[in-house]
Amino acid sequence: MTLRIQLIVGLVLLVSLVVIVNMIHKKRLELKYALSWISVIVALLILDVFPDIMRFISTVMGIETPINMLIFCGFCFSMVIIFTLTVALSRTAKRLKKLAQNLALLEMKLHED
């Protein structure tokens, strides 16, 4: 990776980090959902600043080129974020179902009286 590409990637990652932190600060994004994004951005920043780490890891894992390692890491990070969002959605669906059941019971009691 050339220095120019490293600078561009680093700048994009830093801007993304600032946007996420700003959204958390303005209460448009909850911290518990943003933690996965923040951790991905920090990991990518580390790989961007120290590209030898990516070369070493790709060699150890038997991956031919560092760019293939980057694609693999992107896929893994995407899966982590998707899993995190799926867990949050599942919890929300359970809470919504329970809330709807409680509301139905309360309406039934209200109409009985």
- The whole-number pLDDT of residue 97 equals 98
Give the integer Cα–Cα distance in Å for 46 and 42: 6
The whole-chain average pLDDT of the chain stands at: 90
Which residues does 31 contact at the CB level (< 8 Å), separation at least 6? 24
- The whole-number pLDDT of residue 71 equals 84
pLDDT exceeds cutoff 80 at 1: no
Amino acid at position 89, single letter: L
pLDDT in tens, 37-88: 898 899 889 988 998 898 898 899 999 887 788 888 889 888 988 998 899 8
Do 54 and 70 meet the contact criterion of CB atoms below 8 Å apart?
yes
| pTM of the shown model | 0.70
The first and second tokens of residue 16, run together, are 């993304």
DSSP 64: S
